[in-house]
Amino acid sequence: MTSMDADLFESICKHSHSEVIALKLARLIEQTILSDEVTKSDNVTTREILPGGKGFLKFFDHKGKQPKALTKPLADAVTRQFAFCQKMELQLWIRSPALIGTLTRACIRYDRFLQLFKLYPNTMLVPTLDIDLVWHTHQLSPRRYAAATKVRAGRFIDHDDKLGKPTLDDGMARTENLYRVRFGDKYAICNCWECEALASAMEEAENDPNFDVDSLVMTVSTDVENYRLAEAARRNRKPAPA
C-alpha cells in the first residue's frame, strides 16, 4: 500500500470542499465562455419525487386541494435536478486529482458544443456528462447565459431535460459525429480519474521535449492511488493511510 503523509491527506480532503470547487468552475466559465461578450414528456410524474418529495408538494397545497398547475412541473424539475446531481456525484470529479484540468477541458468542449448549435441550427444536440456539468453551471447566471449563447450559438439555447432515452441516444450519436467532423476530436470520452490525471499530466509536459512517458505514467498512477486511498479513508472516517 502506498504511504501518504498527513499534509497530503488534509490537502486532498480540503480539495473536496464543494464551495471552493464551485467558485473555481465559475471562474473558468467566465474566462472561456464570456471573454468576448459585450453586450414533452411526463416520464417523471409517476415516480416518487425524492426523499421528502411528498412534503415538498404538500408545501404548495392550498387548503387541502390538489397542488396548483405550476407545482407539479416545479417538483418534477427538482426531481430531475436531484438525479443530475446524483449522477455527477457518482463521477467523483469533485475529489479528483485532476479536477482543474477536467473542468478546463470541459469548458473548452462546452464552448465547442455551443458552436455546433450555430453550425447546425435545426439539429438536436446532446451533451456529454462533463459538458452538461458546465452547461448547468453556466445557467446559474441567467442573463450572462442568455448573452453568451447568443454570441456562441447564435441564439438563446434552452436546456430541455425532459427528453426520453431513445431521443437522447439518437441525438448523442448525431452530436458525436458532428463534433468529430468539425473539431477533429473524440466527443464521448472517459472521465475516470486515471484518464483525466494522465491527460492533465500530458498537457503540463507537452512543452518539455525530454519528458519520459514511462516516468509520467508511473507518477500519475501513484498520485491517483494516493487519492483513492484518501477517498476510502474519508468514506470510512479513518485517519490517513500509512
Short-list 91, 124, 126, 116, CA closest to 181:
116
Of residues 36 and 140, which shows the higher confidence score? Answer: 140
Of 125, 161, 156, residue with least CA distance to 143:
156
139 close to 114: Cβ distance less than 8 angstroms: no
Which DSSP helix (H) or strand (E) runs through 132? helix 129-138
Sequence-ordered list of residues with C-beta below 8 angstroms from that of 179, at least 6 positions apart, any chain = 112, 113, 116, 185, 187
Q: What is the largest CA-CA distance in the chain?
A: 74
Would the pLDDT of 239 be above 60? yes
pLDDT range class, residue 55, cuts 50, 70, 90: low
More confident position, 43 or 95: 95
In this prediction, residue 180 carries a pLDDT of 94
**Which range is most confident: 8-22, 53-67, 174-188?**
174-188
DSSP annotation string for 53-102: HHHHHHHH--TTSPPPTTHHHHHHHHHHHHHHHHHHHHHTGGG-TTHHHH
For residue range 186-222, what is the model confidence (pLDDT) as tens digits? Answer: 999 988 898 999 999 988 888 888 888 888 889 999 9
pLDDT digit string, tens, across residues 144-198: 889 999 999 999 998 876 665 666 778 889 999 999 999 999 999 988 898 999 9
Provide the percentage of residues in the chain whose pLDDT is more than 70. 65
pLDDT digit string (tens) for 118-128? Answer: 999 988 899 99
Among residues 208, 131, 144, which one has the least CA distance to residue 176? 131
- Whether the per-residue pLDDT at 232 is higher than 70: the answer is yes
- Cα distance between residue 182 and residue 8, in whole Å: 42
pLDDT at 6: 53
> For residue 37, what pLDDT is reported?
37
> Are 25 and 103 within 8 A, CB to CB?
yes
What is the average pLDDT score of the chain?
Answer: 74
In degrees, to the nearest 5, what angle opens at C-alpha 159 toward C-alphas 133 and 79?
A: 75
Helices (H), 95-185: 99-119, 129-138, 142-152, 165-183
pLDDT at 45: 34
pTM value is 0.69
Confidence of residue 38 (pLDDT cuts 50, 70, 90): very low
Cβ neighbours for 60, distance < 8 A, ≥ 6 positions apart: 67, 68, 71, 74
CB neighbourhood size of 179 (10 A): 22
* Rounded Cα gap, residues 7 and 37, in angstroms: 41
